[in-house]
Structure 1
């Protein structure tokens, strides 16, 4: 089922391409997956199959400007004409509403990797009654002064050459710098994983590794800083189960320190069910790393354990 591309017209105007893996046992929940930057949802098939075996209906869509999703204002490498990150969160909510209509009374867990984690947190804050648990893996919500400097660089690029062209500097400051820090030098994407086969598959995939536009980078930083503003984090229920995962050798998250920072931020605001796990040897893509099966098994156990009773599950929210 996951290999089949299905379509959902989003209220945002996007024609969302998505993949669905139905629960293989008596269904206990719904899992919505948000993928990362310069990749696509089909890469999450092994994860979807594992979670379907645990009783979850799994849905993963291509974000605007990624994969097979189409939108008039979102060619490859761009979320949208304006406020693209916020628009991307509304697409996630559209997926959620479709899934809960198809499978009423089942709890919903929202999962996001890297950029997908930025989208997932912002979606949960915008629609706090829509999700029963939240998982954010390998996301950096604490870029600090370097992040603010990057925003200035991007705004300068936008003024000089427009927002719909690839950024010249950001790939060097992010992907390029991260790969140099690994020191492996085998490919331009060794920072993703120690698993050479997984990295080679990413490099060979025509839907991966593209250059993000200036506007997409700006939207990513907007989601980054917006997501951890106290007034937004306080929109989340304090009892919301949150599952944070990072890699101790992931340069994109300061070797997991940014993930720990998010955990501390949430707990300081009174969130009582935040778990954080940093695998000291993993790089950026936990789901495509050596040891991924263990990480998935741990997530499956957590997801099953934190599910609420069916009576506590909200229905579709079309706001």
Structure 2
């Protein structure tokens, strides 16, 4: 595959009603788009890493928007320095920021269907966004996200409370790092780097390591907000808030430690159906690690094909 770094899409600053100045990237096809895709990036990365897929989408008639979420990239907010969503109500604010991007996309492209794709942490935000602001959405893709709750999450919440009491809320969370990044790093036999769990593509891994805006440990505050996003969208009564006819696509990789090899993705799809969602698709890409959009071929090709097929199906509705 080519490892040329694509040029970043058009960048601007979008003021959200939450008080955040969102760094927003936009990519548009030459003519009128047939669809608009909002892309929500994962934890400890930024929207600029999605330039390649945004460029590819434009070539297929799809406009795309991706913003640096609170505490990430070049987005700024008085209550959200790097590695923190907000001093209070961070989980709610990060969802409302997505609505600000949606409203901008609707203003730019009136009458064009809008779909949301969230990767990993972005999937947590995307599903909570669709619960709250899902009316009128044409589709939702929740990729590589883990919404599992249970004893481990309950124990994690308690450990984070203890860590906050001892160290404060704005320090890097050793508890979160041990339970996630450090644990996932051990899942790859003979790993070359601590982040080989992201993808088989060594070039992508090396760029991630070299990027000062990637790979950091969230604060205790951000870790608590991430758990709140998981818990909020895990309650069946909350999942029932989703529009029942909203097309939803869940995707994971069979070698992704963050989703237990895709088992958490399949579990989410089951819970969505049980809560009343009538149009849920699931795909587990065999061999893929966490970043399916950054995988080597043929795994990335399967993910891209699934994305285009889903977008074609919802644009035809």
TM-score of the pair, normalised by structure 2: 0.95
Q: Which runs of 5+ in 2 are unaligned?
A: 1-6
For 1:135, the equivalent position in structure 2 comes to 141
Match of 2:199 among 173, 193, 202: 193
Q: Residues of 2 paired with 1:302 and 1:45: CA distance?
A: 20
Q: Residues of 1 paired with 2:155 and 2:216: CA distance?
A: 23
Higher mean alpha-carbon deviation, 11-20 vs 168-177, is at 168-177
Superposition RMSD on alpha carbons, in Å?
1.3
Match of 2:43 among 21, 37, 48: 37
Q: Residues of 1 paired with 2:8 and 2:264: CA distance?
A: 32
Q: Residues of 2 paired with 1:300 and 1:211: CA distance?
A: 33
Higher mean alpha-carbon deviation, 184-193 vs 72-81, is at 184-193
Runs of 4+ residues deviating >6 angstroms:
none
For 1:294, the equivalent position in structure 2 comes to 302
For 2:314, the equivalent position in structure 1 comes to 306
Q: Residues of 2 paired with 1:73 and 1:161: CA distance?
A: 19
Q: Residues of 1 paired with 2:209 and 2:223: CA distance?
A: 21
Q: What is the Cα deviation at residue 143 of structure 1?
A: 4.1
For 2:96, the equivalent position in structure 1 comes to 90
Q: Residues of 1 paired with 2:311 and 2:122: CA distance?
A: 18
Which secondary structure does the structure 1 equivalent of 2:180 belong to? Answer: helix
Q: Residues of 2 paired with 1:307 and 1:234: CA distance?
A: 24
Match of 1:73 among 75, 79, 99: 79
Q: Residues of 2 paired with 1:14 and 1:221: CA distance?
A: 21
The count of aligned residue pairs is: 309
Match of 1:57 among 42, 63, 73: 63
Q: Residues of 2 paired with 1:47 and 1:3: CA distance?
A: 11
Higher mean alpha-carbon deviation, 18-27 vs 82-91, is at 18-27
For 2:4, the equivalent position in structure 1 comes to none
Which secondary structure does the structure 2 equivalent of 1:227 belong to? Answer: helix
Q: Which runs of 5+ in 1 are unaligned?
A: 310-319
TM-score of the pair, normalised by structure 1: 0.94
Kept in 2, the 8 Å contact 1:178–1:191? The answer is yes
Match of 2:279 among 253, 273, 276: 273
Q: Residues of 1 paired with 2:313 and 2:125: CA distance?
A: 24
Q: What is the Cα deviation at residue 78 of structure 1?
A: 0.2
